[in-house]
Structure 1
């Protein structure tokens, strides 16, 4: 989870809210913090950590709360023994009602101790924050969902609808084992559900620390990488030639960088921009209205695209992220390659985007190919009022006065692997992020204690409301 839909919410006008910042923890919050602390302090990076250990620790906590062995599935594959996960089942009383899946990921982005101010795998409390890798992405929500299961069991309650919890590994890596993908392809019946609640939604604080906006993520883009490659016979650098692999690639990358894909809308983004237009001053509000009426309105597109997040939300985007060329200081390059990272608007065929890039480059000397993995085409979930309605109602209860909106992520989550097996997935509101991004994927990642505890109350209430 990068900033995703949370940054999109930045365009909503701030609404001041008052309240205690760091009240004394309740007994139930103290028990939850112990789960959170253990999870954060368990290294789950790809290089040196183990999601399998983290999953086993959570399984032990669930068993201690009263879950049976038959309720818990710990899984991994021989080729990736440290990248395991857990699925837990809380049976509901209504066997005819379809289950709800709670989805989260255990793995975290790499964190080098020498770069951090604090040990990234020790939970440190300072000035109203909890520091550590994964404190926000995504161990907060993983711990909250586990805690909700434990609270259900300890209270001796059963939800009306069966609840399933899937905490997996691999969301933060491109080429490693992905637990959500594996479950969807190999254990689809185990996680089968009417819909899933995932990361990706949430709220945003303004720079002063006041809640500014809240949103539910309804859909996301597809991540697809492309390889651009220019080749040449090369030769001695003392005898340059006009057909140069590096120059050919450079020209191609400039064209990729300046190419604008067409504006597109789906139900989520149309609703989002319609909502934004009501609270945004002119001339932006007028441009939004014009573009909604005519997606080919170029002046309106140019104006809105000055906001980088609006620009990405409106269309497919592609950008060069890696370049490699040449083999010697005194030789003409025989090969020059670049990785172009594209974020495809939901429903876009990766092959069509490849064809668009070829046309934009217009140079047969530069080959464009898809780079594995080739992910499923993103399919946005329906605007289901039975899901979104309670999210909105509970937002008014827990965060009164805060604008609530639908958002589409310009990033990506594991939701993309669930759509092919018929599980529409929604990024739940609840956790608020600071305007600077809280160090997610970067240095000194942190979460406000107030955000964590308020978000826990909201998400626990949401799960009970949807399931009961």
Structure 2
């Protein structure tokens, strides 16, 4: 290799590694790794264990015991969380709250290509359960709190941090709900920022949009139950509970709820479509102008995320049937999880399912913990202004668009206690969802590092603003 070639190669190495060597990034990576490798799934893990580790990190950074509150419900000792506080300089300025959930969706090692609770970096991605949803943001929040204290930064308004459990599991307690009911003063804030926003790529690394979440769907689950006297399997009949349930599930799969635009989603499809400039983008723009455009709808709903933003969706997620291999089933049960668009509710969705199924013998019953119906927070210049400026600086040419989350977050528990909550831009994902809630979850390395800097600047802008 010639001297000039060596120089060129050396410059390439410096350019590709410079970002990874930015101050504090190795410490942030270690923190992120610890979060991923601390199992916080409801099946095999403990949020309490991770919350206690985080408390230790904050104390080592200089936070006093009075600035850190660990909490648990005695009935659920593994589902604890933490609230921390960085005092502000202006007693008249209302606090802001950083919100995050520590728990992750269950993950079985035998189903994954890599150990889901090992932090693995490959081909520009970090792999592991929670890398995207949402331990990348949790690690950013904690890393930020530690740096703020060590740097002596004193914001104008107090910054609070609440890291809770139960957003994903839904089976035991929900920490955000518990705090809002039992310790509302501890988390009281003028507003909160949370997951739910972020960037979208074209699947090849190009960031197309950044979004600010200003609303979300409601989460409701239903059980479909078919019952039958049963009998001996040697003398079968067509009246079979499993067949009856299967017929109902086919109808649920085929049913499409009507398109239901609101001001946020209408603006999103128009602006995000214009930003794309491809056939999908043209269809998004056309559909926002005319929801009855079936050709545009067919193109848009091929994208699973965009389809979910358009309408209420219901999908089968669990099945249980039969009681013996040599007996006709006496009971067959399916769980249907619905994400309900604003303007509809649990009762209207149940009625739509019953009508689509058209089987009066089959029971449809709402089940599970009922989250409050999501409240759309006001989209003010105080929230959008700083974010727009930083998106323009960090992601030149990329629009910041208000959006509605198709999932459900813990923001629903804060609205009833007067804390409007926004899903902020920053971390970005690919069109396939990056394996969140599925197999081989991943998050782009560059996204983690850039988002750390972006969100630090955004929090400072909010904390020092009016």
What is the TM-score normalised by the length of structure 2?
0.88
1:323 aligns with 2:316: no
CA distance in 2 between partners of 1:286 and 1:25 (Å): 41
1:222 aligns with 2:218: yes
Deviation per CA, 1:154-201: give whole Å up to 9, x if none.
Answer: 222211111110011122212122211211121112111122111122
From 166, 173, 176, the equivalent of 1:177 is 173
From 158, 168, 172, the equivalent of 2:154 is 158
1:250 aligns with 2:250: no
Instruction: Return the structure number with greater relative CO, CA threshold 8 A, min gap 6.
Output: 1
1:22 aligns with 2:25: no
Secondary structure, counterpart of 2:51 in structure 1: helix
Deviation per CA, 1:387-442: give whole Å up to 9, x if none.
Answer: 12211210111121223322222122222222222222211111122455444334
Query: 2:442 maps to what in 1?
Result: 446
Secondary structure, counterpart of 2:154 in structure 1: coil
Q: Is the 8 A contact 1:225 1:371 kept in 2?
A: yes
Q: Which has the higher mean CA deviation after the structures are superposed, 47-56 or 455-464?
A: 47-56
Q: Which runs of 5+ in 1 are unaligned?
A: 1-18
Q: Give the C-alpha shift of residue 446 in structure 1.
A: 3.4
Secondary structure, counterpart of 1:107 in structure 2: coil
Q: Is the 8 A contact 2:386 2:462 kept in 1?
A: yes
CA distance in 1 between partners of 2:62 and 2:213 (Å): 33
Q: Which has the higher mean CA deviation after the structures are superposed, 37-46 or 359-368?
A: 37-46
Q: Is the 8 A contact 2:390 2:458 kept in 1?
A: yes
Q: Is the 8 A contact 1:321 1:338 kept in 2?
A: yes
What is the TM-score normalised by the length of structure 1?
0.88
Change (3 A) 1:348 1:37: same
1:335 aligns with 2:331: yes
Change (3 A) 1:254 1:425: same
From 390, 393, 399, the equivalent of 1:397 is 393
CA distance in 2 between partners of 1:356 and 1:273 (Å): 26
Secondary structure, counterpart of 1:27 in structure 2: coil
Change (3 A) 1:92 1:211: same
More helix by share: 2
Q: Give the C-alpha shift of residue 249 in structure 1.
A: 2.1
CA distance in 2 between partners of 1:303 and 1:433 (Å): 21
Q: Is the 8 A contact 2:41 2:169 kept in 1?
A: no
Counterparts of residues 193-232 of structure 1 (less than 5 Å): 193-232=189-228
Q: Which has the higher mean CA deviation after the structures are superposed, 308-317 or 79-88?
A: 308-317
Q: Which has the higher mean CA deviation after the structures are superposed, 32-41 or 288-297?
A: 288-297
Counterparts of residues 223-372 of structure 1 (less than 5 Å): 223-237=219-233, 239-241=235-237, 243-279=239-275, 288=284, 291-293=287-289, 295=291, 300-372=296-368
CA distance in 2 between partners of 1:300 and 1:403 (Å): 22
Q: How many residue pairs were aligned? A: 450
Secondary structure, counterpart of 2:370 in structure 1: coil
Q: Which has the higher mean CA deviation after the structures are superposed, 115-124 or 383-392?
A: 115-124
CA distance in 2 between partners of 1:273 and 1:285 (Å): 8
